[in-house]
Structure formats: C-alpha cells, structure tokens
Amino acid sequence: MDLARKKRTRLYEEVAEKIRHLIQDGTLATGDQLLPERQLAETLGVSRSAVREALTSLVSQGLLEITPGSGAYVKEVNINDLIDPFATIVLKEIDGIFDLLEARLVMETGAARIAAKRADRADLYSMHELVTAMENDVKEGRNTDASDSEFHFSVVRATHNPVLQNLMTVLMGLMKDYYGPSRQKLVEQQENRQLWSQQHGRVYEAIRIGDSEAAAAAVSEHLNTSIQELKKLQGIEE
C-alpha cells in the first residue's frame, strides 16, 4: 500500500498505525527488529522523516525501543499496552456482554459504510482472502475463530481511520474476556460457522461494489444473528 497517497491523516500516523497493527496481529513479535529507516521508507512509499516520527510515536507508546547503532525493536507488550487506559474506563461501565455487542453493532455498521467508500485494492484483497479462508475452514470442519475475527478487523482497517481501528482493538480485547467461552460454544456449531461465512461474503461484496448502505445492512444482519444466537444459548427470551 502506497501510504504517500493517503491524505486523511498525517503520514507518520499512517506509518505508525501500520506498524502497530503488525505488532497487534503477531506479524512482528517481541524482539523482532524493524527494517532500517531507509528501507522502511522505501517499502511504505513515504519519506524518512515520516518513518522517524512514526517510530518516535511508537516508542512513546511503549511498543518499540530503539538501540543506538542497531535499530528499532519490538518491546514485550500485553493487551493493556495496546488498548490503552480507555479500556480500563470501559471495563468499569460494562453491564454484560450485550453492552459490548451493542457497541460493536453501532461502530461496525458505521465502519462498513465508510469502508465501502474508502477501501483500496489492498483492503479488498485482504477481505477476499479472509472470506475465502473462512469458507475453506467451514468446508474442512475447522475452527473459524481466527479468520472470523480478522475479517471484522479488516473491515475497520478499510476505513483508514486510526481512531476507529483503536476502538475496535479495545472492543475485541474486551470481547475475549466477556464473550470467549460463549463464543466457542457458538463456533462449535457447524450451522453457525456456515451462516457467518456467508454473511461475511455479503459484507465483502457490498464493500467491493461501494454500496455503503448494503455494507452496513450486511454487518447489522451478521451481528444481530450473533446476538440472537447468544441469547438462545443463555436462555434469554425476547
């Protein structure tokens, strides 16, 4: 992705967010060394000053450390380092999993609308690969949790809005604590995996053709399905 063409945020913020995501998804692990500044700038299509500012920002966030004469390295981090103090505030106010799911419903439908307008080729390629991966997992009877979660992240990343991306990280981090065991029970059901896979496909297709309202509707249908299935699992009547 040529970050030099992105104008919605400052370049160094785009660079920092890309590196931050690589740390979040495990592509860059603790102790890994980043490319030298010049190579990183060439790879991302930005100036060295933008890379330098991005690295400085990530150092201040505690995600990187710079060793003089050696380079930038990924520090050991945990989820609390990545989701920031905002998560602590949210934790105090949560009244159950359905608050989190409702928040995701509001945020992700809006994100889908934006993604349908802003998604570039790299975004669409990533979404398509994840939809295909989930379809294959369903056919082979494998757990779809990883491809499912990553697809939701890919939609939010396609907004190219770092605030939404960070909010998504917060929500998904909290979901693991509140929704993990229940979600695994739902994921174990083949019919759920198959339905969710089909719904992801509809979200992707709407974003691919640039239909904002269809994208939002597809996300809404998908998340409301999950909410209803969870209510059934917990014996909650409407």
Rounded to whole angstroms, the Cα distance separating 195 from 170 reads 26
Q: What is the pTM of this model?
A: 0.63
The residue with tokens 């997992």 is 137
Does 49 lie in the same domain as 119? no
Encode burial over 109-122: b for 16+ CB neighbours within 10 A, e otherwise: bbbbbbbbebbeee
pLDDT digits 0-9 by tens, 202-238? 999 999 999 999 999 999 999 999 888 888 877 776 6
pLDDT digits 0-9 by tens, 111-158? 999 999 999 999 999 999 999 999 998 888 887 878 888 899 999 999
**Range 2-27 average pLDDT:** 70
Domain count, the chain: 2
Please report, for the domain that includes residue 41, its CATH number: 1.10.10.10
Does 71 lie in the same domain as 88? no
Domain contains 238: no
